[in-house]
Structure 1
Amino acid sequence: MKHIQQYMLIQRCRAPWSFSSILRDIYYKWKPHHHMRYTSSASPATSAGTFESAKPFSAIPGPVNLPVIGTLFPYKIGIKKVPSYHLDVCNLYHKYGLIVKEVFGSQPVVHLFDVADIRAVYENDGKTPHIPPLQETSQFYRQQKNMSLGLGNLNGEEWYKLRHAVQQMMLRPREVSYYYPLQDSVARRAVDKVTLSTDDHGYISELHFLVGKWILESAGMCCFEKSLGCLSGGLKEDLAQKLVEANNEIFKLSAELKFSLRLYRYFKFPKYRRLQTIQDFFYGVSIKFIRETMDEIKDLIKEKKLVDGQFNFLTYLMSRKELSEKDVITLTLSLFSDGLSTTAPTLIGNLHCLALNPSIQERLYDEIKSHVDPDAPITVQIINKLHYLKAFVKEVFRFYPVGEVVKRVLQKDMLLSGYHVPAGTSVDLNAYIWLQSDHYFEDPGMLRPERWLRDLPGSTHVDPYVHNPFSIGTRMCAGRRFAEQDLYVGLCRLLLKFHLVATNNTPPQQEWNTLLQPKIPLPLQFIPRN
């Protein structure tokens, strides 16, 4: 296992050897850059100085910036590939240092690798941090359809109004723990589905789709407090399968169009028309679910039959006077759909890491077995006793993070790594590169949940600006608590029923499709426990 862990560390930010990698090296050598070359063993620097002594924005190093296409030339001729964009960003650090400028067409983006710079940006967030859209294609689609842009695309007071409205319901552990029985009931059914889906050798064909339907069913239970039939077979499961496939395709096409100079805004090329059709289907079905439940709630209110606590999430949102019906739909759509591209791939990554580390899997199984009754509901009180489980989930985010970057739009001029970066600049906070660095982690290539167990041997203090899977501050992921609960109950139910086996020692690898997801298929077997 030792040589595998070392391989993982070395390969973290290095694309595999190929003819394309040779062309990439030629490209970088052709580009002149007169600066200190950093390596992963160099200590992160701290910004210091004043604007008067700062180097100008135009002097920030980076790849060749050509007219019209900016720095996208390597992607246009195939030297770089979109699915390995996260690795290419790491290579930018190795070539240019702690601050790097790319230009997507005419849009400059500044990559920040220095943890001191990352901290400075967070500390200057203010009440309403501004972010560029995660998917410009989604933002454009919603504008064209006169839909609310959603939490992920809004900024300023409009964003703050929506965020404040869901603060209590979505981010306070006490409130979210109400949904444990609902999520646990889905996890039980999902494990039954895993049992039915494994072949004689313990393999599951297209595990990622099964997990996607699991998370969609769980989201439906939280939003609508009723089963959508995502795991029940028949037409309802067929519809869920199409929703999962559509979501995957939306993220894939959106990632590709990120490198298209945004021409889809003016010319409806086939790829964008395909994306638009898929979005029509995905949003149409999702909003239909939401409207049907809202109408049911309105009818119950008219008939004075609505029971206290019934339809908890939607009833709460509908009761908020500051929220319009469009706002309620937007917030519910976010909780319903976002887990498909975040929680689902994270759960798969957790399973892979367990299979690669049998001793950790058995220790976690022993903890779960000692506290969880297979025939009784899982409650927040039980989960709060599972310290190793929580530490394991946090540790896996080092190997299977959801994204390689946190994005911000600076609201005031800042001095970053000695450069004057003006307000309005889009900056990418790239702490991803440090997730397996010995600057911040002892034995960084090894999966060690113990490092997160406070006051116990093996624990360590890690800078929160290095490892924060859900971001920090007021723009922290609104669905964080729901995601964590799905992971906790899902791992409990699966490990009580199955022993996970890795059929080869392929280390964790991810692909970039706007967000990160495990490369599939993963070499996993589900072996029933006696």
Structure 2
Amino acid sequence: MERTAFCSRSLVHSHGNVFLRRCQRWMSVVVSDTSHEPHQHSLHSSTRGIKPFKDIPGPRGLPYLGTILQYRKGPFQRFTIDRYQDALMSRYKEYGPIVKETIAGVTTVRVFDPDDVRTVFMNEDKQPHVAPLLETTKQYREQRDLSPGLGNTNGEEWYRLRGAVQQMMMRPKAVTVYLPLVEEVVDDFITRIKKIRNDDGTISDFRLEAAKWNLESSGMTCFETRLGCLVDTPSDHILHMISSNNAIFELSTKINFSVPFHRLFTTKLWQKLLDEEDYFFRNGQKLVDETIARIDRLQKEGNLREGQYNFLLYLLSKKELSIKDVSIITLSLFGDGLNTTVPSLIFAMYCLAKNPDAQQKVYEEIRGVLNADEPITGDHINRLTYLKACVKESQRILPIGLEIKRILKKDLILGGYVVPAGTTVELAPYVHYMSPEYFVEPERFLPERWLRDGSALNIHPYLLTPFGHGPRMCAGRRFAEQELYVLLSKMLKNFTLEYSGDLDMKFQVLMVPDRPTTFTFKNRNSS
């Protein structure tokens, strides 16, 4: 990589005109590939009142760069990229339910109306096409000759990978196999909370503690190995793994709102990202290799117990998966929770801490469902309906995702406009989460709205879909929900949660807490 960067810098100095011509040619290709201006479609002439793609409203920008400067030096600079959610709301208020925008050569259509979201989902086939959540990770894996993984593939390649993991990862009953492992780590984490809290019950920087719990839990699920994240002084290596994962999302956000020169040569920002990706992958791959070697040794010795190393053994048994596929699928489940499950946990805890009546109601439900010395089962989790409603309500008030991306496979009419096949569409009903048009008393934390006897029947079914929808639903959803429900149930059974001050969201591809979080854990009178 150093040689590539050196050669590129030399080219700029000694052959500037050649370099500029290369940039211009590359930019023109990107623009032509991403603008998706439609040709004459029969749909246009046969449907009256439907407007063409070119008339979709949106902000004007510079050639190729589009509106990127508005996020760096223009009207949204006051928000910074951290407040991308405010930019989304601003676009919606100015242009309405459908907006077309170009940022750094990529033209997308953003739809806000949940009816249009429904139209997109209802017109998908068995192999929907998606744009990667982390385009930078896709590029990294291409450069390192790794398997792209489920989120970075489309068509038959994606269908092959999904078919291999569907039975194990996406069916609720299959995921309950890992409940004993999840509960073991949760019990240790509850013990740790009791040990490390201050005399007044507070724990500062709880996000770091939650990240340690999540990495330890994922390590047990994927490798059936205790990583040592919950000891008093975890190794620098563990802390580096956590910080690298966070840095990948931070750097990716910056790159997404920069001119993509990293596609031409190794920029400083891109090199930083490569270093962080390398660290997390290299150490994660070491865990994969060690676990496979352990499985192989136990099999040869005849000491492999039934049900042991279930996750990796299942993947290794699938002939359609290469060892590269097995590694990336495993490492995705291992690391993804740090920027999905962890912020979801903190946002749910915050909402419960700020709404003591709801917290008390959850506690009473938990006490009635979970017995003192009985392991948690799938049936127990199914009966925690109010807890689940609290988590969903927290996902409305403090969502971890603002958009779901699709690449249309056929022309659709969205917001009264023809949007042609090949267009990247960003589904962003987030702007309505606090709207009285869609929610009764939207400012209030009301988990009851999601219960069967609440207002859920009147809520648009495509308004809040935090894990996506259909065949491209998040593959790790069942694992994430199971971890959340087990931890929250045991946490609330042991503690009353309190939080002083406010908490908001910060954008780094997904949404994370915008400040350090200090929770107070007070002992329950009875457990």
Q: State TM-score, norm by structure 2.
A: 0.88
Give the match for residue 77 of structure 1.
Answer: 73
Asked if 1:54 corresponds to 2:54, the answer is no
- 2:471 equivalent to 1:474: yes
Q: Deviations over 1:461-500 (max 9, x none)?
A: 3222101111110000111111111111111111122111
User: 1:229 offset after TM fit, Å?
Assistant: 1.3
Q: Does 1:515 align with 2:510?
A: yes
Quote how far apart the aligned CAs of 1:162 are. Answer: 0.7
Could you tell me how far 1:339 is from its partner in structure 2?
0.8
- Counting only pairs closer than 5 Å after superposition, residues 340-379 of structure 1 correspond to structure 2 as 340-379=338-377
Change (3 A) 1:49 1:149: same
Deviation at 1:261, TM superposition (A): 2.1
Q: Does the Cα contact within 8 Å between 1:374 and 1:496 map onto a contact in 2?
A: no
Output the CA distance in 1 between the equivalents of 2:72 and 2:514: 23
In structure 2, the residue corresponding to 1:149 is in which secondary structure?
Answer: coil
Cα distance in 1 for residues equivalent to 2:44 and 2:54: 19
- Asked if the contact 1:412/1:424 (under 8 Å) is kept, the reply is yes
Deviates more, 1:395-404 or 1:458-467: 458-467
Task: Measure the CA separation in 1 of the matches of 2:253 and 2:47.
Answer: 36
3-state secondary structure, aligned to 2:230:
coil
- Structure 2 contact 66–101 (Cα < 8 Å) conserved: yes
Classify 1:199/1:266 alpha carbon distance in 2 versus 1 (closer, same or farther; 3 Å): same
Percent identical residues: 44
Q: Is the CA contact 2:494–2:523 (under 8 Å) kept in the aligned structure 1?
A: yes
Whole-Å separation in 2 of the counterparts to 1:520 and 1:503: 13
Q: Deviation of residue 440 (structure 1)?
A: 2.2
**What amino acid sits opposite 2:303 in the alignment?**
K
1:67 counterpart = 2:66:
no
CA contact (8 A) 2:112 2:429 kept: yes
Q: After TM superposition, give the deviation of residue 525 of structure 1 in Å.
A: 1.6
> In the aligned structure 2, how far is the partner of 1:140 from the partner of 1:482?
27
Which string of whole-angstrom CA distances, capped at 9 and with x for unpartnered residues, describes residues 87-132 of structure 1? 2011100000111011012110110012221111111221111111
CA distance in 1, matches of 2:380, 2:417: 50
CA offsets 1:193-251 (integer angstroms, 9 cap, x no match): 22222112222121111101111111111111221111123454x32222111111110
| Aligned position for 2:273 | 275
Structure 1, 264-273 or 129-138: larger mean CA deviation? 264-273
Q: Amino acid of the residue matched to residue 83 of structure 1?
A: D
**CA contact under 8 A between 2:53 and 2:420: conserved in structure 1?**
yes
Conservation of the 8 A alpha-carbon contact between 1:48 and 1:418: no
> CA–CA distance in 1 between the matches of 2:244 and 2:372?
34
1:397 is paired with a residue whose SS is helix
* 1:529 is the counterpart of 2:519: no
Structure 2 equivalent of residue 183 of structure 1:
182
* Counterpart pick for 1:484 among 481, 488, 513: 481
Q: Is the 8 A contact 1:134 1:514 kept in 2?
A: yes
Q: Check whether the contact 2:204–2:518 (CA below 8 A) recurs between aligned residues.
A: no
Conserved? CA contact 1:498–1:527, under 8 Å: yes
* CA distance, structure 2, for counterparts of residue 364 and residue 500 of structure 1: 12
User: Partner amino acid for 1:364?
Assistant: V
Cα distance between partner residues in 1 of 2:306 and 2:44: 56
Gaps of 5+ in 2: 1-42
What is the DSSP-based 3-state SS (H/G/I as helix, E as strand, rest coil) of the residue aligned with 1:275?
helix
Q: Tell me by how many angstroms 1:502 deviates.
A: 2.3
Moved more, 416-425 or 484-493: 416-425
Paired AA for residue 482 in structure 2: Q
Alpha-carbon separation, structure 2, partners of 1:395 and 1:261: 37
Amino acid at match of 1:516: M
**Residue in structure 2 matched with residue 127 of structure 1 by the alignment:** 126
Please say if residues 48 and 417 of structure 1, whose CA atoms lie closer than 8 Å, have aligned partners that are also in contact: no
Q: Which amino acid aligns with 1:490?
A: L
Give yes or no for contact 2:68–2:257 (8 Å, CA) kept in 1: yes
**Aligned residue number for residue 4 of structure 1:** none
Check 1:214–1:513 CA distance in 2 against 1; reply closer, same or farther (3 A cut): same
Corresponding position of 1:214: 213
Whole-Å separation in 1 of the counterparts to 2:423 and 2:455 = 40
What SS class does the counterpart of residue 353 from structure 1 fall into? helix
The one-letter code of the counterpart of 1:56 is: P
* 1: CA distance, partners of 2:44 / 2:519: 49
Q: Find the aligned partners of 2:254 and 2:195 in 1 and give their Cα distance.
A: 36
Q: Tell me the amino acid that sits aligned with residue 318 of structure 1.
A: L
Once residues 159 and 195 of structure 2 are traced to their aligned partners in structure 1, the CA distance between those partners, rounded to angstroms, is: 45
Equivalents in 2 of 1:480, 1:287: separation in Å? 23
Displacement of 1:303: 3.1
What stretches of structure 1 move > 6 A for 4+ residues in a row?
Answer: none
Separation in 1, partners of 2:296, 2:500: 52
Name the CA distance, whole Å, in 2 between partners of 1:301 and 1:398. 47
8 A Cα contact 1:51 1:420, kept in partner: no
Letter of the 1:462 counterpart: I
TM-score (norm 1): 0.87
CA drift of 1:373 comes to 3.0
Report what 1:462 is aligned to. Answer: 459
Match of 1:167, SS state, is helix
Once structures 1 and 2 are overlaid, which stretch shifts more, 144-153 or 61-70? 61-70
Which amino acid in the other structure matches residue 174 of structure 1? K
Contact 2:147 2:325 in 1 (8 A): yes
2:141 corresponds in structure 1 to: 142
CA pair 378-48 structure 1, distance change in 2 beyond 3 A: farther
Aligned to 2:262: 264
In the alignment, is the contact (CA less than 8 A) between 1:352 and 1:522 conserved in 2?
A: no
Q: Distance in 2 between matches of 1:74 and 1:321?
A: 49
**What code does the residue aligned with 2:404 have?**
V
1:390 Cα offset (Å): 1.4
Structure 1 gaps of 5+ residues are 1-46
C-alpha distance in 2 between matches for 1:313 and 1:348: 27
Q: SS in structure 2 opposite 1:446?
A: coil
**Corresponding residue for 1:194?**
193
What amino acid is aligned across from residue 520 of structure 1 in structure 2?
R
Distance 1:478 1:49 in 2: 40
Kindly tell me: are residues 169 and 94 of structure 1, through their superposed partners in 2, closer, same or farther at Cα, counting changes over 3 Å?
same
The alignment partner of 1:138 has SS state of helix
Q: Answer yes or no: is the 8 Å Cα contact 1:431–1:466 preserved in 2.
A: yes
Q: Which residue in 1 is equivalent to 2:319?
A: 321
Comparing 407-416 with 297-306, greater Cα deviation is found at 297-306
Q: Number of aligned pairs?
A: 480
SS at match of 1:102: strand
2:363 maps to a residue whose letter is Y
CA distance in 2, matches of 1:84, 1:49: 41
Equivalent position of 1:18 in the other structure: none
